[in-house]
Amino acid sequence: MLDVRVISIGTLPAHPLWGERTPIRTGHSTTTLIRSLDRTILIDPGLPERALAARLGERACITPDDVTHVFLTSFHPDTHRALTAFENARWFISRDEREGFGRQLVAMLTRASQGGDQELVRQLEHEVAILKRCEEAPHHLADGVEIYPLPGVTPGLCGVMISEDEATTLITGDAVATIEHVRRQMVMPTCADVQQARASFADALEVADIIVPGRDNVMVVRQRGPMSPGLGGMIVGQDGPGGFGGGLGGGPGSGPDGGQDED
């Protein structure tokens, strides 16, 4: 049996659908833990190292040394802030994400070197070193756990699908950011390919019973049975505009008139 639990609920630095236009907090991705018989897999360790180590103890009674595998849904900085805390684990990312971000980082590093910005050079060299260590993720992460392509927000964004008898859970990364994005049927404003991102967004809502979004609490899209003991979150009803109205949770300006289109 799989144990799936959210370790830390993510957030956006600025949430446009709450009426925020400039960053007012440090963004970080939702971090999820999957435990099978022989693997302990952490998805998107976005908090700082000390904070995430504390959350692992609070939520799962483990330490970073107990994690065997880390998977990044994307290489956005908010997904891997604590990655180096997991030195004993194998680090995975999709091939397309690794190659796409690799090209971007090399181009940025070249420009920074030419411009003489040594601080930026050091930061980019650190990111390059992290990306080099990341391995191409296998399709199958564990029994009942597979990576699921959701490209668009970034070229190689991949979620993680967890298939159980009771429900199909999809960890989406930023392909589905928050409950407000689901209610408004909207993708993130900064997408590598907006049309592809919209298609992935729709696909995620179609295939999943439970969604773990990139920057919010767990959302139950449809319920066929009991949730995994480690999951608990918001119900996304089927009675509102576009089939995803109502629901619980949200934040400032999250009503029918809250926020404005991001794209």
Angstrom distance (rounded) from CA 74 to CA 142: 19
Higher pLDDT pick, 170 / 249: 170
Assigned domain for 112 exists: no
The tokens of 235 are what?
């119900």
End-to-end CA distance of the chain: 41
Categorize the per-residue pLDDT at 242 as very low, low, confident or very high, splitting at 50, 70 and 90.
very low
Assigned domain for 216 exists: yes
Residue type, 191: C
Model-level pTM? 0.85
Of the candidates 145, 157, 155, 32, the one whose C-alpha atom is nearest the C-alpha of residue 93 is 157
Mean residue pLDDT of the chain comes to 87
Higher pLDDT pick, 174 / 251: 174
Q: Using one digit for the tens of pLDDT, what is the confidence trace for 36-74? A: 989 999 999 999 999 999 999 999 999 999 999 999 999
Assigned domain for 113 exists: no
DSSP 187: -
Assigned domain for 237 exists: yes
Three-class DSSP category at 196? helix
Which value, in Å, is the radius of gyration of the alpha carbons in the chain? 18
Is it the case that residue 143 has pLDDT exceeding 90? yes
Is it the case that residue 258 has pLDDT exceeding 70? no
Which range of residues forms the domain containing residue 153?
A: 3-94+137-243
Lowest mean pLDDT among 13-22, 99-108, 219-228: 219-228
What kind and span of H or E run contains 92?
strand 90-93
Domains: count for the chain: 1
Assigned domain for 107 exists: no
Longest CA pairwise span in the chain (Å): 58
Assigned domain for 174 exists: yes
* CATH number of the CATH domain containing 179: 3.60.15.10
